[in-house]
Amino acid sequence: MNNQTALTSLNDCSAELTKLQQIIEVFGQSHSIVPFLTNYAIIKCCGTIENCFKVIISDFHNSLPPQAKNYIENTFLYSSMNPSKHNICKSLIKFDKQWNSNFKAKLSTEPHKNRIESSLNSLNEARNAFAHGSSPGVSFSSVIMYFNDSKKIIEILDEVVI
């Protein structure tokens, strides 16, 4: 990946998921701690994907005047936004319409496009369910799958935002 900050975030999250999986293996799938670890993983994974998509899109601003950098940071980078495909595309359009076109074109050639998009949606839905007081109802292994699939969207984004 071109964006080292995003790459580090993805790798750190993957390493943390591995540690959580090891804890779950020690306690067993039926232990009462598993839902808490799963909910934590949902928030961590979705937050990582959100941070990565924002960092990739906004990192180009480093050469801008301080006022423009401040505006981008406060209105985009530090705002809260689910990392849905819709929000990624909407953000890309605000910065560069060609980025959005290239992103959609590259994603459309992905062999597992439907699964990847579905995983990103599922990760967002699980985060929203938990954040709004409901039980997400997904397994820890599903969260790992959703995250691994969603990483592909970040990799595609990283390829087209140049």
CA distance 123 to 136: 9
CA 67, 72, 77, 82: dihedral to nearest 10 degrees? 150
- For 116-126, write each residue's pLDDT tens digit: 999 999 999 99
- Report pLDDT for 63: 75
Residue ranges in the chain modelled with pLDDT below 50: none
**What is the number of other CB atoms lying within 10 angstroms of the CB of residue 91?**
20
- Report pLDDT for 75: 87
Look over the chain and give the mean of its residue pLDDT values, rounded to a whole number. 94
CA distance 82 to 50: 6
